[in-house]
Amino acid sequence: MADWWDDERDGELPVAVPHTALSPEALRGVIESFVLREGTDYGERDVSHESKVADVLRQLERGDARIMFDPLTQGVSIVLARQVTSSAT
C-alpha cells in the first residue's frame, strides 16, 4: 500500500494537527475543502454536502481520521488515522 505522501522527497514529513486546535470556522473550511476535493463514495445513495461534512467531522472527533499539514507543500489533508499509524512504522 502506498503512503499518502511521497516517501522519496527531501524535507519535513507531514505533521498531525489536532482538529481541536482549529477554530470552528477553520475546521469547517478544511473539512469542506476535503469533501469537495476528494469526494466520498456513498454508493448509489445521494448524500448531501452537509451530511458529508458532518460525517468527516465525526470521524475526526472519534479519532478515525486526522488532519495532516504538509510543510513542503503548505497543504492540508484529512487521512484515515490507520494510514498515519502504518506509515510511521
CATH number of the domain to which 41 belongs: 1.10.10.610
**Per-residue confidence at 2, pLDDT binned at 50, 70, 90?**
very low
Contact of 20 with 26, CB cutoff 8 Å? no
Domain count, the chain: 1
Within a 13 Å sphere around the CA of 32, how many CA atoms are in the beta-carbon half?
Answer: 8
Three-state secondary structure call for residue 4: coil
Please state, in angstroms and rounded to a whole number, the distance separating the CA atoms of residues 54 and 1.
28
pLDDT digits (tens, 9 = 90+) for 10-60: 667 889 999 999 999 999 999 999 998 866 555 667 788 899 999 999 999
Residue 5 falls inside a structural domain = no
Residue 34 lies inside a defined structural domain of this protein: yes
Give the residue among 10, 4, 14 at the shortest CA–CA distance from 71. Answer: 14
pLDDT band at 89 (very low <50, low <70, confident <90, very high): very low
Give the residue numbers spanning the domain of 58.
15-88
The larger pLDDT score, comparing residue 48 to residue 8, is at 48
User: Sign of torsion, CA 39 84 24 27?
Assistant: negative
